[in-house]
Amino acid sequence: MPILFKKTKEIRNYIKSLRCENRYTVGFVPTMGYLHEGHRELIRTSKIQNDITIVSIYVNPLQFGEGEDFERYPRDLERDLGICEEEGVNVVFAPLDEEMYPEKPLINIEIKGLTHILEGEFRPGHFSGVCTVVLKLFNIIQPDRAYFGEKDYQQLKVVQRLVKDLSLPVEIVPVKTVREKDGLAFSSRNTYLKPEERESALSLYRSFLLAEKLIKGGNKDANSIKQTIIEFIRKHPHVKKIDYVEITDEDLRPVKEVKEGDRILLAVWVGDTRLIDNWRIGDANL
Amino acid sequence: MPILFKKTKEIRNYIKSLRCENRYTVGFVPTMGYLHEGHRELIRTSKIQNDITIVSIYVNPLQFGEGEDFERYPRDLERDLGICEEEGVNVVFAPLDEEMYPEKPLINIEIKGLTHILEGEFRPGHFSGVCTVVLKLFNIIQPDRAYFGEKDYQQLKVVQRLVKDLSLPVEIVPVKTVREKDGLAFSSRNTYLKPEERESALSLYRSFLLAEKLIKGGNKDANSIKQTIIEFIRKHPHVKKIDYVEITDEDLRPVKEVKEGDRILLAVWVGDTRLIDNWRIGDANL
């Protein structure tokens, strides 16, 4: 008689035993390169939790829309390899385009309620490109754990849901946003900022502190807090456009009344640089 | 210095070696149960090519549309286990619904040019459901090879493209359609046919032979061959409706002029039973 399994966990263990017990656990940090302090934090977390840490460096064309910054996105493999060495990364995967996309993929991946809001509204197709490359990388690397920064909070939620819906055998580990001393969230795109724009770029972080102050002061109305944030950011000289400011629960569902654990998410153009950032309400020590 | 890989194949081999060389190769036959001769052929092919053969039995609700036959789809796990034993299957995975879908998935998967034509046009959402369950099963079983019948030719092409676009580490092995002596393709849905409808059901297979005769006779015009097929099938008494008859190349792109290797694909309602079948032009020995 064949062995009968009805539970995913049990058949997974059986198959693991077929292939002989994993000797090493693999932690995976997918990146687009031009590594900064935020990436280092992902790597360090992986190093603590796994035997082997693999970093991928690949500027994925599929997640850039037409007219976006794919061409000018900063690239420096030598510098990145140096950082990986400093951090004790075991393996770097820097695939060539023809390895990742020998043909243009025909697949389109959507996740209801997650991929068409916020970033998805302003960058149509972005999350389909993210999901495709993440699935490809997971299928190639087959990591036990993968590390994603909260800086791209919506991406984190999309990937978590992807893993759930597709029963992927990987644990997604969120890592807190790392900020510069002045509060600006680390991002490879910060290199686009002109010196005179930096002060305006800080308005994102400062608007979170302002919101926290309002909430501590008793204002729980998401709409009025949103308006205050918009007005605050808009008065900075180099702010060209605000794509969105939203307040949601931790699963990106809009809220009317704000509570601890909710998220403020925003996307703002400072000069020619589009910055995104987000904040967990309750995280400021005021 | 970290080890640097730029090629998928090389990092895959490295990771394999980390997890220790596969001791066994796993062949996987995904089914919705109610196994017949077609499934047996898939299993036999897997048995020849792999050390371990795993059969999944799961009637996937996600690939049925509203008003379709999910409820009445035939199920008999005991009988299926008997067949698996006869065929020397090593493992059966028969997951519970709450294992596969603890929550309703939010994911939607499309493949441009493949999932919205033919079956996809008449069964919206069908292939998204197929892709989702196939990915889940692949992620759970992690097979080296997976076996799909040509009976569901479009499904085969969709799964092949899914594997390509997502770099899945599995080889898709197509297996030729198995037919009863009278030419009817084996299908679990044949159990729906009333005895008096069987003769009409044979019109699908016979229309393929008719088409081959026309082509051998020098007619290469896809449209005229299609019309002849439609007229031939329509005159059978229990034929209620023809959803489609199409002639395409092997990648499901429509053709005007027919050549060897092209496919005739059709979906026909015989009484309350929706039958699909397809034919590779050149396969008849006339």
Residue that has been written with the tokens 């904040």 in this structure: A279
pLDDT (0 to 100) of residue B145: 96
**pLDDT over 70 percentage in chain B:** 95
Rg, chain A, Cα only: 20
**What DSSP string runs through B217-263?**
TT--BHHHHHHHHHHHHHTSTTEEEEEEEEEE-TTS-B-SB--TT-E
B contact test, residue of A92, A115, A167 with most B CBs within 10 A: A167
Chain B: residue nearest A6 by CA? Answer: B95
Chain A: residue nearest B17 by CA? Answer: A23
Does A168 sit within 8 Å of B139, measured CB to CB? yes
Nearest C-alpha of chain B: how many angstroms from A71?
Answer: 20
Asked whether the beta carbons of B274 and B188 are under 8 A apart, the reply is: no
B39 is catalytic: yes
Integer Cα distance of A60 and A91 in angstroms: 19
State the pairing for strand pair A107-111/B107-111: antiparallel
Give the domains, in start order, of chain B with CATH numbers: 23-175 (3.40.50.620), 188-280 (3.30.1300.10)
Please state, rounded to an integer, the average pLDDT across all residues of chain B.
Answer: 94
pLDDT at residue B22 greater than cutoff 70: no
pLDDT at residue A6 greater than cutoff 90: no
Model pLDDT for residues A118-161, shown as the tens digit of each residue? 999 999 999 999 999 999 999 988 889 999 999 999 999 999 99
Integer Cα distance of B33 and B31 in angstroms: 5
B contact test, residue of A3, A6, A11, A131 with most B CBs within 10 A: A11
pLDDT (0 to 100) of residue A20: 62
pLDDT (0 to 100) of residue B19: 63
Integer Cα distance of A211 and A281 in angstroms: 9
Model pLDDT for residues B206-261, shown as the tens digit of each residue? 999 999 999 999 999 999 999 999 999 999 999 999 999 999 999 999 999 999 99
Does A166 sit within 8 Å of B99, measured CB to CB? no
Q: Output the six-digit token pair for A55.
A: 């970093």
Integer Cα distance of A21 and B236 in angstroms: 59
- Give the residue, A102 or B6, on which the prediction is more confident: A102
Model pLDDT for residues A150-191, shown as the tens digit of each residue? 999 999 999 999 999 999 989 999 999 999 999 999 999 999
pLDDT (0 to 100) of residue A8: 67
Instruction: Give the confidence band of A3 by pLDDT, cuts at 50, 70, 90.
Output: confident
Largest CA distance in chain B: 74
Integer Cα distance of B259 and A44 in angstroms: 59
What type of residue is A181? K
pLDDT (0 to 100) of residue A244: 98
- pTM metric for this prediction: 0.94
Model pLDDT for residues A7-38, shown as the tens digit of each residue? 767 776 776 666 665 567 889 999 999 999 99
Mean pLDDT lowest among A64-73, A92-101, A151-160:
A92-101
pLDDT (0 to 100) of residue B275: 98
